[in-house]
Every structure is written in C-alpha cells, then in structure tokens.
Amino acid sequence: MLIIGLTGGIGSGKSTVAKLFSERGVTVIDTDQLARDVTQPGKPALQSIVDMFGSTILQTNGSLNRTALRKIIFTDENKRLWLENLLHPIILAEMKNQAEAAKSSYCIVVIPLLLETQANELINRILVIDTAEKEQIKRTQLRDNSTENEVKSIIATQVNRIKRLSAAHDIIENNGSLSDLIPQVDRLHGFYLALSQKA
C-alpha cells in the first residue's frame, strides 16, 4: 500500500484537500480523528492525561476539553512532548490497521505535525499543503475564533515553511479558491495511481 502523508501548517487547508482526495475514492485516514477516538471517556489514554494534567482538563460530561489542553501544551514544550509520547504509539498502531484495511490503490494520512515529530516509518511520500502565513492566520481566526496572537503562537511551534517545503515530495499551493485546488489534486491523484501500480 502506497501511503501518502499529507501535512501543512495550521489553516493551510489540509481537511479541504483530504476531502477532494476522498471524493476521488481514496481512503483518507485523519490522525486528528484518531487522536479524538483514542482519548474518548473510558479509554486508557484519557485516564493518563487526567493523571498528568488534573480533572480540570475534562468537560462536565467527562470528555476531554481539547481547547484547555491545547492552551497548556502550546505554552509548555515538556508537557507537549509528554502528550506526544503518550499518544503517538497508540495513533500509529491504529493508523497502520486502517491503512492495511484500505480498499483504494493508495491512501492519504492527514498528519498535521508529521514534520514536527519523529519520522513515521509507514509514510512513503510527503505531500505538503503550502499556504502563505497571512492566509493561515486569516483562515484559522475565522475557523477557531482565535486571536491573531494565538494563531501566531501555534505557527511558531510548527516547522517553518522553508523546512516543510524542503521535506516535501509533492506540494499543493493553497492561497486561492477551491477551483485552484482541484486540478492540483487531479494531477497528483493520477500520479499516485500510477505509482501504486509500480509498488
């Protein structure tokens, strides 16, 4: 199975691009969704998070308060690393299971922090969604109701644009509209189909 790791900075349009691939019959695995699944109430990972950060990290219904957790880990690198070390092996195992079950010729795995964390041995190629920082800020503010400073502090924790682009096997530019994305996705879809036949 050819596995493409799709990544990009916050607000770059990863979900939009992933949806376009999905519409072309490609299996898409979203590691953010996997992270939500493995931290549901009753799961061991959630108990470990509560043991580390305290019960204030929970919503009143017992589920994880992701906003509160994000604020803690984006201001304390040691706590962020602790959380990554807890969740990454669990998410990686689930990602492997889903990739092995995929029915499409190749699959896309959306990994926002693919380049910020240790190398993922399951990924064959890296697809970067490249977006100008001002666009990232604007989109994230609209989506998350964040302040400009909050978005900039998240961008500061991520791999810089130059490093991200230098790690890419493939790049999709996303500074315009959906109609600008579609031909880029179609071109790569054809390319990945051809590559998967050779694999």
pLDDT tens-place values along the chain, 199 residues long? 999 999 999 999 999 999 999 999 999 999 999 999 999 999 999 999 999 999 999 999 999 999 899 888 888 989 988 998 999 899 999 999 999 999 999 999 999 889 987 778 899 999 999 999 999 999 999 898 889 998 998 898 889 999 999 999 999 999 999 999 999 999 999 999 999 998 6
Q: Which residues contact 126 (CB under 8 A, 6 or more apart)?
A: 4, 5, 7, 114, 115, 167, 168, 169, 170
Residue at token pair 């054809």:
190
Q: How far apart are CA 143 and CA 48, in angstroms?
A: 29
List the domains of the chain with CATH numbers: 2-194 (3.40.50.300)
Instruction: Report CA torsion sign: 171, 187, 26, 182.
Output: positive
Read off the pTM. 0.86
Long-range CB contacts for residues 114-122, cutoff 8 Å, separation at least 24: 114/5, 114/7, 115/7, 115/159, 115/163, 115/164, 115/167, 116/157, 116/158, 116/159, 117/84, 117/88, 118/88, 120/5, 120/92, 122/3, 122/92, 122/95, 122/96
Q: How far apart are CA 72 and CA 49, in angstroms?
A: 12
Q: How far apart are CA 195 and CA 10, in angstroms?
A: 29
